[in-house]
């Protein structure tokens, strides 16, 4: 056969032509006419094999296709009379790869089973849609920062010290240097970069030994972390909001099919693209939470439930800022107006999703940081290099981290973060 090989996504431009597509059989229905739903990663196409058009051997093969076998189908591209979508009127089929007893059948499966079979579950239409949206978000993030003149400054994964507290570190032996830790955040490595590049970002995997099993926590997740010289708390909220909007714009522009596979209600996304985000101090947020029925006390960090309660009551993303120092990281700038507070800001996503961004202004005083390092029980020698940022041309600076999987979970409106990564890592999940 010498018909052109095309991808499913290109079929719209091939109406009336004879072409070959290659892919995997999602589903095959047999009656007099045989219907094969084929998937090649770029899209889904219905192939129709009827005895009149199809050669006899292929017609017979179409009657005994198994789920997930690989196939090349050649035929005429036409539009489906009702839906208007392209379909393939099959003339010839070639079996490219057999598949026997594919474990994930169209019936309902339990989540544990699906997680064990993650490498096969990726083939489902739902996972296809989610992970294509993840890709679009990651690309939109890079395009945003590249377009804003940020320099990509990759942060190391193996690090000597903690950034976000010592209770969630994964440790490993590092030759004679002792213990190394998987990075919790690239932030400490962005800050020295400012004096060289002005505005930097890193975007890579980060790790937290989170022992809790929640629908928001992974042990390995991707974070984008911009850092800006001469920036303050206010700039973090402005930059974070602009970045979120550019992500939403991209997804709404290019991922309509995937959003519709997920039956995502577009209203809240469109609204988050156009409205100004709300802002509330931590102190006001605590008061609001208590009105909403939470028993949170001033000084306590939000629990997952608090974030859900707060964000179910909001019609737009919310910046919460100025948190008690006591539960925030050591590097935060204290609030000059209230010594109990740190100049941090978190962005909480609506529809009950909660924190997607964490960031703020960084402490500028060397003495204050030294006090913090000792107060947090950290080893000063591990941070001497970081303290140099304040010793040689220290200036105010600020930044934030957006968790990619949290963003995907909200944008796709998923009940759990486990479906947002190709191979998610959580407590109790190390395979496949």
Task: Identify the burial level of 36 via C-beta atoms within 10 angstroms of its C-beta, where 0-12 means exposed, 13-18 middle and 19 or more buried.
Answer: buried
Among 39, 199, 217, 321, binds ligand 4AD (CB under 6 A): 217
d(CA 337, CA 222) in angstroms, rounded, equals 34
Nearest to 399 by CA among 167, 169, 220, 243: 243
Q: What is the closest distance, in whole angstroms, from the C-beta atom of residue 348 to ligand 4AD in the complex? A: 9
Using CB under 6 A as the binding rule, the residues of this chain from 129 to 188 that contact ligand 4AD are 163-164, 185, 187
The length of the chain in residues reads: 432
Among 70, 355, 396, 413, binds ligand 4AD (CB under 6 A): 355
Nearer CB in complex with Mg ion: 129/233: 233
Instruction: Return the CA Rg of the chain.
Output: 26
Q: Which stretch binds ligand 4AD (CB under 6 A): 56-64, 127-135, 357-365, 379-387?
A: 357-365
d(CA 58, CA 47) in angstroms, rounded, equals 12
Q: Is 68 left (phi over 0), alpha (psi -120 to 50) or beta?
A: left
Q: Is 377 helix (H, G, I), strand (E, B) or coil?
A: coil
Q: Does 251 bind ligand 4AD (CB under 6 A)?
A: no
Q: Does 210 bind ligand 4AD (CB under 6 A)?
A: yes
- Asked whether 27 and 106 are in contact (CB, 8 A), the reply is yes
Number of chain positions touching Mg ion (CB under 5 A)? 1
- Asked whether 324 and 296 are in contact (CB, 8 A), the reply is no
Among 186, 358, 403, 424, binds Mg ion (CB under 5 A): 358
Q: Is 70 helix (H, G, I), strand (E, B) or coil?
A: strand
Q: Which stretch binds Mg ion (CB under 5 A): 11-19, 26-34, 286-294, 355-363?
A: 355-363
Q: What is the closest distance, in whole angstroms, from the C-beta atom of residue 188 to ligand 4AD in the complex? A: 8
Q: What is the closest distance, in whole angstroms, from the C-beta atom of residue 355 to Mg ion in the complex? A: 6
Chain residue whose CB lies nearest Mg ion? 358
Q: Which residues bind ligand 4AD (CB under 6 A)?
A: 163-164, 185, 187, 208, 210, 217-218, 221, 223, 225, 355-359, 399-401, 403, 405-406
Q: Which residues bind Mg ion (CB under 5 A)?
A: 358
């Amino acid at each position: 056969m010498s018909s052109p090989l095309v991808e499913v996504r290109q079929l719209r431009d091939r109406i009336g032509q004879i072409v070959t597509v290659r892919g995997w059989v999602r589903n095959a229905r047999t009656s007099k006419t045989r219907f094969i739903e084929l998937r090649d990663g770029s899209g889904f196409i219905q192939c129709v094999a009827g005895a009149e058009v199809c050669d006899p051997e292929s017609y017979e093969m179409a009657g005994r296709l198994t789920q997930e076998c690989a196939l090349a189908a050649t035929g005429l591209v036409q539009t489906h009379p009702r839906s208007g979508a392209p379909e393939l009127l099959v003339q010839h089929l070639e079996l490219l790869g057999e598949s026997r007893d594919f474990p994930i059948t169209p019936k309902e499966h339990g989540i544990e089973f699906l997680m064990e079979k993650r490498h096969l579950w990726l083939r489902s239409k739902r996972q296809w849609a989610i992970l294509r949206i993840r890709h679009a978000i990651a690309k939109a993030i890079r395009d945003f920062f590249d377009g804003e003149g940020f320099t990509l400054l990759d942060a190391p994964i193996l690090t000597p010290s903690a950034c976000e507290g010592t209770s969630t570190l994964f440790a490993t032996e590092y030759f004679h240097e002792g213990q190394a830790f998987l990075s919790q955040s690239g932030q400490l490595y962005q800050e020295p970069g400012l004096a060289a590049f002005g505005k930097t970002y890193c975007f890579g995997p980060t790790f937290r030994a989170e022992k809790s099993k929640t629908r928001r926590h992974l042990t390995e997740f991707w974070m984008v972390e911009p850092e800006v010289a001469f920036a303050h708390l206010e700039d973090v909220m402005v930059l974070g909001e602009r970045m979120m909007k550019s992500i939403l714009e991209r997804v709404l522009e290019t991922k309509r099919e995937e959003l519709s596979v997920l039956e995502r209600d577009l209203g809240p996304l469109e609204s988050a693209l156009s409205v100004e985000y709300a802002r509330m101090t931590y102190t006001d947020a605590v008061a609001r939470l208590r009105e909403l029925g939470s028993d949170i006390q001033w000084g306590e960090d939000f629990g997952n439930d608090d974030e859900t309660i707060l964000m179910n009551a909001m019609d737009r993303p919310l910046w919460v800022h100025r948190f008690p120092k006591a539960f925030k990281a050591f590097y935060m700038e204290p609030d000059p107006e209230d010594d109990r507070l740190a100049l941090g800001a978190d962005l909480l996503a609506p529809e009950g999703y909660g924190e997607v961004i964490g960031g703020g202004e960084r402490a500028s005083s060397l003495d204050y940081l030294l006090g913090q390092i000792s107060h947090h029980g950290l080893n000063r020698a591990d941070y001497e290099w970081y303290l140099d940022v304040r010793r040689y041309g220290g200036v105010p600076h600020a930044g934030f981290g957006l968790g990619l999987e949290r963003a995907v979970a909200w944008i796709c409106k998923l009940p759990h973060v486990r479906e947002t990564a190709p191979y998610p890592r959580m407590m109790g999940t190390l395979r496949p």
